[in-house]
Structure 1
Amino acid sequence: MRPLRRPVLAVLTGALALGGLTACTEKSDAKAGEDGAIGVTAADTTCDTTAKTAKAGKVTLAIANKGKRATEVEIVMPDGRIVSEKENIGPGVSYTLTAEVKAGDYEIACRPGMVGHGVRQKLTVSGKESGAKRDPRLDAAVSAYRDYAQDQADQTLPKVKVFTDAIRAGELDAAKKAYAPSRIGWERTEPVAESFGDIDPKTDTRADGLEKGQKWTGWHRLEKALFEDGKIGAEEKTLATRLDTDLKDWQRRVGRAVITPTSMANGAKDLLDEVATGKVTGEEERYSHTDLVDFKANVEGAEKAYTLLRAVAKTNDPDLVARLDTRFAALDKQLDAYRPSPDSYEFTSYDKVGEARRKKLSDGVNALAEPLSKLAAAVVGK
């Protein structure tokens, strides 16, 4: 799910308790207009940009959050699909977002508090992509990742049906057992689902992430009923069927997702941010304590995108690839310690993981997140 929608001070307070969690945001040296970047100044009620036009191809946003709340900045197509985004940019924090865009009309959206429609500025992109023809290895990577995302959606629906069938049958223990496996494919490819804007809020929102007037539906509403309330009633059975319907919509739409080499790279970083803001803290699966299942799925999804882009990134920045190889391997090894075998998805219940071990997991995430934030720039070349 999208990071918890709450004041960033609370995020930082919890982070400090874990020993300085910083993977959700990064400082950037980029300045508005530098190297052709479009400056984006986000505040609590405004979203100012230094340009309303850009040339097709690589577009860089030099984002600065001058507001008092965490914000999200997106490049949005007219039909609402998100080309690229950066979530959880804290007050006073800057970030450089690299994306690839074709000619057309777009909007740059700033979403203070990461809620609602946000404040938007028009962006008109014209012309053809300049420079040499794109490396065919990148086209192959995009094609392979699109197949991967569709395959994960296709594999998820039967697992979800096992979960929802158990709820409809009133079988509490069976539903609890099927809960975590039903989420793996979603967690591996969550940035693709989030790119549509309307699916994630219906399926993966926590109670404290609800917007005003929003009905709580989806996995976490059912998680609470099963693991905290210990009951399955008529409402839960109805919500189970709605979850089936909403996820079928996701499955149908995967093929329409905007996928580019930079969106893959940015999506990989977003998955690490998901770990930092929800899984390491234990907030994501607060009732079932199956956070490590989600944690591993997020890392696997990030690693898949990175692996597909690795050859091009190595050509452009071999030192970065060496760091990423090492840090992915180190984090994978850490996670293996919490399951009986490397091919098992039976992870230790997260409420059994003490603060010291959570701190080590946090450190592993931070060590990977920093170089991973540079992958998009390495893919398109500096």
Structure 2
Amino acid sequence: MRAARTPVVAAISALTTITAVAGCAQKSDAKDSDAIQVTASDSACEVSKTSFPAGHVKFAVENKGSKVTEVYVYAPGDRIVTERENIGPGTSTSINAEIKAGSYEIACKPGMKGHGIRQKVSATGKGKPAQRDPKLDKAVAEYRTYVQKQADDTLPTVQKFADAVKKDDLEGAKKLYAPSRIGWERTEPVAESFGDIDPKVDVREDGLEKGQKWTGWHRLEKSLWQTKKITAADHDLADQLIKDLKDWQKRVGTADITPTGMANGAKELLDEVQTGKVTGEEERYSHTDLVDFKGNVEGAETSYKLLKPVASKNDPELAKELDKQFAAVGKLLDKYRKGDGFVSYDTVSESERKKLSDAVNALAEPLSRLAAAVVTK
């Protein structure tokens, strides 16, 4: 879940973004001169074109502000079409996406929080006729099956978690908490694309909007680990969690999934690791961050492997580097395994967290180029 970052985390994000962006030359079928220039600052979000042809679109983003920012492209209802987090001050990045004809909003979010500074834009016409490699259509179909299965498999585990909460079984609920989140963490960008589900089930206390009621996993996490007491209100929250996740399960099959969306989603999952899991902010009460960490990485790797037949053809060196870095992250995570899960994250030292952060950075940089590698030339 994306939430407000502390100044320290923002500073770390800025540094890691500078490292990741350096030398990152993305490829696209769109000429650089055709890219939509997005210039972000602490008080503005300027776009070079408010109308452009639908189809494969490249956004060239530059952060001229003093704060780490993120850029979103929203469809009506705040459905996320694409995004990029952790854009440090004085750095640039590019985003390749497939945009259908319609009305959108481009939002820059200084400090990576809030509603953002928004500009209305439109994609016109029917767009460039799809000339996808059939392997990409296969990748999309298989990924759609994957995200549906993750949702289907999540509900029974969450039901057991909710049942334990409603029975006031504190220890039982604690054991089921982290496993109940794995499917969600693997496919979080798809869930977030709907706009309204994620704030109900995965928001942290510091990510609440003004007037927003706190519901979902993390509200229950606080009761289980910090207050160490289950109340009648928690019983209601458990029921609400089931209701909201059933909505996710029902709607996930309708998600707009594209090859570039899969690639960008894989990068978003790495951003989640860097800004929430490595810092220990995500699971601040339970310290089960490494379970989420693993789920995010598994989801990113699934997208990559499905896209690899095309990516390896278009950019063999990139595929080789991604294979190497995914293996490195997996090997490092294995050091922290304990039984069927992982050690409590509060036992991981600062120097060890730094190694995890460095490994994620080493993977995130080439992963940011995956979308460009699957765009048909």
Q: Is this contact kept in 1: 2:158–2:242, CA < 8 A? A: yes
Greater shift, 208-217 or 126-135, is seen at: 126-135
- The 1:98–1:323 alpha-carbon spacing in structure 2 relative to 1, beyond 3 Å, is same
Q: Which amino acid aligns with 1:372?
A: L
Query: What are the within-5 Å matches in structure 2 for residues 1-382 of structure 1?
Result: 1-2=1-2, 4-6=3-5, 9-13=7-11, 21-22=16-17, 26=21, 34-130=32-128, 133-340=131-338, 345-381=340-376
Query: Sequence identity, in percent?
Result: 62
Q: Is this contact kept in 2: 1:141–1:261, CA < 8 A? A: yes
Q: Which amino acid aligns with 1:298?
A: N
User: Matches of 1:296 and 1:6 in 2, distance apart?
Assistant: 21
Q: How far is 1:132 from its partner?
A: 7.1
Ranges in structure 2 where 5+ consecutive residues have no aligned partner: none
SS at 2:21's partner residue? coil
Q: How far is 1:249 from its partner?
A: 1.3
User: Matches of 1:357 and 1:207 in 2, distance apart?
Assistant: 27
Q: Is this contact kept in 2: 1:82–1:197, CA < 8 A? A: yes
Q: Which amino acid aligns with 1:221?
A: R
Q: How high is the TM-score relative to the length of structure 2?
A: 0.92
Q: Give aligned pairs, total.
A: 372
Greater shift, 21-30 or 153-162, is seen at: 21-30
Q: How far is 1:71 from its partner?
A: 2.9
Q: How far is 1:110 from its partner?
A: 2.5
Q: How far is 1:212 from its partner?
A: 2.0
The runs of 4+ residues in structure 1 deviating greater than 6 Å are none
* Cα deviation digits, residues 269-289 of structure 1 (max 9, x gap): 110111111111111111111
Q: How high is the TM-score relative to the length of structure 1?
A: 0.91
User: Matches of 2:209 and 2:100 in 1, distance apart?
Assistant: 32
Q: How far is 1:34 from its partner?
A: 3.2
SS at 1:108's partner residue? strand
Q: Which amino acid aligns with 2:184?
A: W
Q: Is this contact kept in 1: 2:71–2:108, CA < 8 A? A: yes
User: Matches of 2:116 and 2:271 in 1, distance apart?
Assistant: 21
Q: How far is 1:57 from its partner?
A: 1.8
Q: Is this contact kept in 2: 1:24–1:277, CA < 8 A? A: no
Ranges in structure 1 where 5+ consecutive residues have no aligned partner: none
Q: How far is 1:24 from its partner?
A: 9.7
User: Matches of 2:113 and 2:362 in 1, distance apart?
Assistant: 29
User: Matches of 1:380 and 1:178 in 2, distance apart?
Assistant: 41
User: Matches of 1:284 and 1:23 in 2, distance apart?
Assistant: 23
Q: How far is 1:315 from its partner?
A: 0.9
Q: Which amino acid aligns with 1:5?
A: A
Q: Is this contact kept in 2: 1:115–1:211, CA < 8 A? A: no
User: Matches of 1:165 and 1:271 in 2, distance apart?
Assistant: 29
User: Matches of 1:101 and 1:233 in 2, distance apart?
Assistant: 46
Q: Is this contact kept in 1: 2:278–2:357, CA < 8 A? A: yes
User: Matches of 1:111 and 1:22 in 2, distance apart?
Assistant: 15
Q: How far is 1:131 from its partner?
A: 6.8
Q: How far is 1:302 from its partner?
A: 0.2
Greater shift, 110-119 or 188-197, is seen at: 110-119
Q: Is this contact kept in 1: 2:76–2:104, CA < 8 A? A: yes
Q: How far is 1:104 from its partner?
A: 2.4
User: Matches of 1:35 and 1:276 in 2, distance apart?
Assistant: 32
Q: How far is 1:265 from its partner?
A: 0.4
- The 1:24–1:206 alpha-carbon spacing in structure 2 relative to 1, beyond 3 Å, is farther
- The 1:231–1:14 alpha-carbon spacing in structure 2 relative to 1, beyond 3 Å, is farther
User: Matches of 2:231 and 2:177 in 1, distance apart?
Assistant: 17
User: Matches of 1:352 and 1:6 in 2, distance apart?
Assistant: 22
- The 1:115–1:280 alpha-carbon spacing in structure 2 relative to 1, beyond 3 Å, is closer
User: Matches of 2:329 and 2:323 in 1, distance apart?
Assistant: 10
SS at 2:37's partner residue? strand
- The 1:259–1:118 alpha-carbon spacing in structure 2 relative to 1, beyond 3 Å, is same
Q: Which amino acid aligns with 1:285?
A: E
Q: Which amino acid aligns with 1:346?
A: G
